Amino acid sequence: MKILRLILGDQLNSTHSWFSKVDENVVYCLFEMRQETDYVTHHIQKIAGFFAAMRNFGNDLKNNHHNVIYFKINDKKNTQNLTQNLSLLFTENSIQKFEYQSPDEYRLDKQMSDFCKEINIESEVFSTEHFYTERNDLGTFSKGKKQFLMENFYREMRKKYQILMVNDQPEGGIWNYDKSNRQKWNKEVLIPPQKNFDNDVSEIVKELEIASVKSIGKINSKYFEYPINRVQSLEQLDYFCEYLLMHFGDYQDAMHTDNVFLFHSKLSFAMNSKMISPIEIVDKVLETYRERKNEIDISQVEGFIRQIIGWREYMRGMYWMLMPAYKEENFLENHHKLPDFFWTGNTKMNCLKNAIHNSLDNGYAHHIQRLMITGNFALLTQIHPDQIDAWYLGIYVDAIEWVQLPNTRGMSQFADAGKIATKPYVSSGSYISKMSNYCGSCGYNNKEKTTKNACPFNSLYWNFLEEKKVQLASNFRMKMMYSLLGKIPASEIAEIQEKAHHIINHLDEY
């Protein structure tokens, strides 16, 4: 029986059981398509990186004697549409059975399941063999519970996979070292040079230009610095374990004008394209910790592992539990437009300038920049979640909807009324000043609220609390903030709101 197997751009798992043996009746196909380059405006590095990784993957399969059909973006036969390309190959290659791996995005999953209902050959869907959990495990785990807290899920994961556990107790005596993961970085703690790969993607960039694919951001001398194959992915992991893990936890929330990546792993692109698995990453981190316990504290290791077996798996579970309605949620009824400076970095606010320039230049910003700088500002200025999603989904090399959407609409924008985060992640300038050196070289004064040079985050913060009282005042975790708001005299609140409204109405002037 002649079988066609589809490999999507984020399914580059060379350890998948599909590839354990060569079968001359099996043909693999990979497509670069306008369907994927155009559903949102992506960062140029994201498109080039995915295409480069897909091309490598296709070539490796060929070198290992598998049959491969690869459509490049400008190939004549390429219809630029997934199901049309598949139909074409069915006919041309007398295919009798179609097989694919579960897409992680709702959009593609639906496209595939609808397609399989229409075709007149047999079809079968396989696991991607990538995640710890199955798509619907979180739903099963949370059955009967009112809230699906990440922390509870994370503890179950630790127990189930016996990660940092001594019998049924957490190693070190506590489950979570989050409180010690909040240090401000200073230059005395040396950061080793970044691990960059000089992946030449100039050919791909040229082809994208010929195809007139619209994109955002820059690509530095046509090089893509993140891993684009399995060997590089493993090297990136080794580098992280060797040099960065030892300070990961301490500085995971820190931000600094001199360093984009600090002690972060830069593994998200490799992981989300499935060139490397979360299980391999956690195993290697644990092995490093066991070998170097005298140098590496458990708080660094726990802080990292929580992101992978906790947040990453939890976000995927929430996505599949809540889609497709999740994409429409707008609990706080925010309707403003994203300011133009999100696309240019052209703002006087130094924190935003840095976070946006990092994103435009590198297709990267770390978690706290995404949450507490750009996300915080978008929420305080009450931007419509659709606009925020489109920005986050386009700009980061690691952005795929199953992980981007719950992080953005849920964690960062509280548009889901608290299904993911128990309170909105908003702050005034004081948090930003505590965790970064941004305020020191900013024209705004982070101690002022209403003066000409006052930090915009300050008035926006109190205005947000005031305007969202109906939705938020009864939230237990907001009690302290609302009690502080209650102590501000009415005349001062009026001044603060006047200032905040001026900012919201003139966003591109700030």
Name the helix (H) or strand (E) containing 272: helix 268-272
Q: Is 254 in the site for ligand FAD (CB under 6 A)?
A: no
Q: Is 370 in the site for ligand FAD (CB under 6 A)?
A: yes
Q: What DSSP letter does each residue of 156-221 carry, written as one string?
A: HHHHHTT-SEETTEETTS-S--GGGS-PPP-TTSPPPPP----EE-HHHHHHHHHTT---BS--GG
DSSP state, 9? T
Binder among 364, 444, 461, 462 for ligand SF4 (CB under 6 A)? 444
Q: Is 349 in the site for ligand SF4 (CB under 6 A)?
A: yes
Of residues 24 through 63, those in contact with ligand SF4 by CB under 6 A are none
Residue nearer to ligand FAD on the CB measure, 27 or 40? 40
438 binds, among ligand FAD, ligand SF4, none (CB under 5 to 8 A by kind): ligand SF4
Q: Is 225 in the site for ligand FAD (CB under 6 A)?
A: no
Q: Is 442 in the site for ligand SF4 (CB under 6 A)?
A: yes
Shortest Cβ distance from residue 293 to ligand FAD (Å)? Answer: 21
The residue range among 291-299, 314-322, 387-395, 442-450 that interacts with ligand SF4, by the rule CB under 6 A, is 442-450
Are residues 301 and 158 in contact, defined by beta-carbon separation less than 8 angstroms? no
HSE value, Cβ hemisphere, 13 Å, CA-based, for 278: 21
Q: Is 403 in the site for ligand FAD (CB under 6 A)?
A: yes
Are residues 298 and 288 in contact, defined by beta-carbon separation less than 8 angstroms? no
The residue range among 50-58, 125-133, 346-354, 482-490 that interacts with ligand SF4, by the rule CB under 6 A, is 346-354
Q: In sequence order, which residues have a C-beta less than 8 Å from that of residue 76 and are 6 or more positions away? A: none
Q: Using DSSP, state whether 445 is helix, strand or coil.
A: strand
3-state SS record for 49-80: HHHHHHHHHHHHHHHCCCEEEEECCCCCCCCC
Site string for ligand FAD, 290-319 (x = CB under 6 A): -----------------xx--xx--x----
236 binds, among ligand SF4, ligand FAD, none (CB under 5 to 8 A by kind): none
From CA 63, how far away is CA 40, in angstroms rounded? 34
Residue nearer to ligand SF4 on the CB measure, 413 or 433? 433
What single-letter amino acid sits at 288? T
Q: How many CB atoms lie within 10 A of CB 114?
A: 10
Binder among 43, 274, 366, 468 for ligand FAD (CB under 6 A)? 366
Q: Is 438 in the site for ligand SF4 (CB under 6 A)?
A: yes
Binder among 11, 412, 428, 458 for ligand FAD (CB under 6 A)? 412
DSSP state, 327? G
Q: Is 460 in the site for ligand SF4 (CB under 6 A)?
A: no
16 binds, among ligand FAD, ligand SF4, none (CB under 5 to 8 A by kind): none
Q: How many CB atoms lie within 10 A of CB 154?
A: 21
Are residues 3 and 26 in contact, defined by beta-carbon separation less than 8 angstroms? yes
Structure tokens at 476: 């237990």
Q: How many of the chain's residues bind ligand FAD (CB under 6 A)? A: 27
Q: Is 392 in the site for ligand FAD (CB under 6 A)?
A: yes
Q: CA separation (Å) from 46 to 95, 269, 359?
A: 32, 9, 11
Q: How many of the chain's residues bind ligand SF4 (CB under 6 A)? A: 14
Shortest Cβ distance from residue 391 to ligand FAD (Å)? Answer: 10
The residue range among 139-147, 179-187, 405-413, 468-476 that interacts with ligand FAD, by the rule CB under 6 A, is 405-413
164 binds, among ligand SF4, ligand FAD, none (CB under 5 to 8 A by kind): none
Q: Is 414 in the site for ligand FAD (CB under 6 A)?
A: no
Residue nearer to ligand SF4 on the CB measure, 298 or 380? 380
Surface-to-core class of residue 302, CB atoms within 10 Å of its CB (0-12 exposed, 13-18 middle, 19+ buried): buried
From CA 239, how far away is CA 89, in angstroms rounded? 41
Binder among 298, 371, 472, 496 for ligand FAD (CB under 6 A)? 371
Q: What DSSP letter does each residue of 359-421 carry, written as one string?
A: HHHHS---HHIIIIIIIHHHHHTTB-HHHHHHHHHHH-TT--HHHHHIIIIIIIT-TTSSSS-
Q: What DSSP letter does each residue of 276-289 carry, written as one string?
A: S-HHHHHHHHHHHH
Residue nearer to ligand SF4 on the CB measure, 126 or 425? 425
408 binds, among ligand FAD, ligand SF4, none (CB under 5 to 8 A by kind): ligand FAD
Shortest Cβ distance from residue 268 to ligand FAD (Å)? Answer: 3
Residue nearer to ligand FAD on the CB measure, 215 or 412? 412
Q: How many CB atoms lie within 10 A of CB 486?
A: 10
Q: Is 398 in the site for ligand FAD (CB under 6 A)?
A: yes
432 binds, among ligand FAD, ligand SF4, none (CB under 5 to 8 A by kind): ligand SF4
Residue nearer to ligand FAD on the CB measure, 315 or 496? 315
DSSP state, 242? I
Binder among 271, 439, 481, 500 for ligand SF4 (CB under 6 A)? 439
Binder among 56, 272, 277, 350 for ligand SF4 (CB under 6 A)? 350
Structure tokens at 304: 């990292």
Binding site for ligand SF4 (CB under 6 A): 349-351, 429, 432-433, 438-439, 442, 444, 446, 455-457
